[in-house]
Amino acid sequence: MLSLHHAGLIDPPSLSPLHGDVTPGEVLAIVGPNGAGKTTLLTMLSGFRYSQLGPVTLDGWSLEAWTPAALAGRRALVAQFEPSGFDWRVRDLVVLGGDPGPEAVAEIMRQLELACLAERGVLSLSGGERQRVMVARALCQLAAARRDQNRDGGLLLLDEPTSALDIGQQQRMMRLLRRLAVERHMAVVCVLHDLNLAATYADRVWLMAAGKRVAHGAPSQVLEVERLALTYRVELQALDRAGAAPWLALKP
Ligand SMILES: Nc1ncnc2c1ncn2[C@@H]1O[C@H](COP(=O)(O)OP(=O)(O)OP(=O)(O)O)[C@@H](O)[C@H]1O
C-alpha cells in the first residue's frame, strides 16, 4: 500500500500537504486543470521526487529508504512524455525495464494489441501505438518482478495514458487497467484529463487545483458539475446515468 502522511513539496512547483492511501485492487484517478500539479504529484508518488514535508511510504517504508532496484520491482511509471531518441524495436523496448519471459511478454503485447508491431522500430509508430508500447513496458517491468518474487500486486502510475488513443483504444486501456487492479491486485494511479473516463473506470478520484487536492472520494461525489465548473472555468451539462457519476458534456 502507498501512503501519504502530509506529504508535499515546498520548491516550485509546490504541493500542499496530502494525506491518504492508494490501496491494491483500486484505480485512483487524478484530475484537474492544466498546471494543477498532477504530474508533480505523480512524480512524488513514484519516488522520482521525494516529499519535502511528511513521508510517502510504500508497504510501510519511506520511498527514500527503497533502493532503486527494489523500487523498480514494485512500481512502474508511464510518463506523459517518454524520450524517443533511439529507434528501438518494439519487442526489445517493452522488456527494457524487466523481462517476464516469452509467454508473459506475448500476453502483454496481445492485451495492448502490439503483437503485429513487435518487429517495428518505435519511431515508426503512431502516437497511440507508441503510448501503448510505453504501457506494455511498464507492465513487463512489474510482471518480471512479480515472477521473480512469486507474488501479485505492484503499483502502476500512469500520466495521461489515453491522451493519444482513439475511443476504442481508450475503452480497452481503461478496462485493462481495471482488470489489473481487480485480478492482479495492483494499485493503479492514473492522471486523466477525460473526466468521463475517470467517472466510468475509477474507484476514487482526487481533484487537484493550484497544487492542492480540492476534493477526493467516489467519482459521483467529486465530479459535480458546479465544482468542476468553478475549478476548470468551464460551462458543463450533466446527463444522469442511474447509479453512476453523471456523463459530463461541454455546453455549446
Ligand atoms: N521546475 C519547475 N519550476 C517551476 N515551476 C514548475 C517546474 N516544474 C513544473 N512547474 C510548474 O508547476 C505547475 C504544475 O505542473 P504539473 O506538470 O504538475 O501540472 P499538471 O497538472 O500535470 O498539468 P498538465 O495538465 O498541463 O499536464 C505548473 O504550473 C508548472 O509550470
ipTM of the complex: 0.97
pLDDT single digits (tens) 67-88: 999 999 999 999 987 766 789 9
CATH code, residues 2-82+153-250: 3.40.50.300
Dihedral sign for Cα 211, 214, 218, 224, please.
Answer: negative
Q: How far apart (Å, rounded) are the C-alpha atoms in residues 16 and 219?
A: 22
Q: Containing H/E element for 169? A: helix 167-184
Q: Is 1 helix (H, G, I), strand (E, B) or coil?
A: coil
Atom of ligand 1 nearest to the CA of 193: 25
Q: Give 46-90 as a 3 state SS string.
A: HCCCCCCCCCEEECCEEHHHCCHHHHHCCEEEECCCCCCCCCCEH
Residue 203, all three cell numbers: 474507484
DSSP string computed for 190-232: EE-S-HHHHHHH-SEEEEEETTEEEEEESHHHH--HHHHHHHH
Residue 46 Cα to ligand 1 midpoint, Å, equals: 16
Distance 217 CA to ligand 1 centre (A): 24
Closest ligand 1 atom to Cα of 191:
22
pLDDT tens track for 46-58: 999 999 999 999 9
Domain ranges of the chain: 2-82+153-250
Residue 228 half-sphere exposure, CB side, CA atoms within 13 Å? 27
Task: Tell me the average pLDDT of the chain.
Answer: 94
pTM of the predicted model as reported, rounded to 2 decimal places: 0.95
Given ligand 1 and candidates 34, 40, 46, 189, which is best to mutate, with the most ligand atoms within 8 Å of its CB? 40
Ligand 1: list residues with CB < 6 Å.
12-13, 32, 34-40
Backbone torsion region of residue 207, taken as left when φ is above 0, otherwise alpha when ψ lies between -120 and 50, otherwise beta: beta
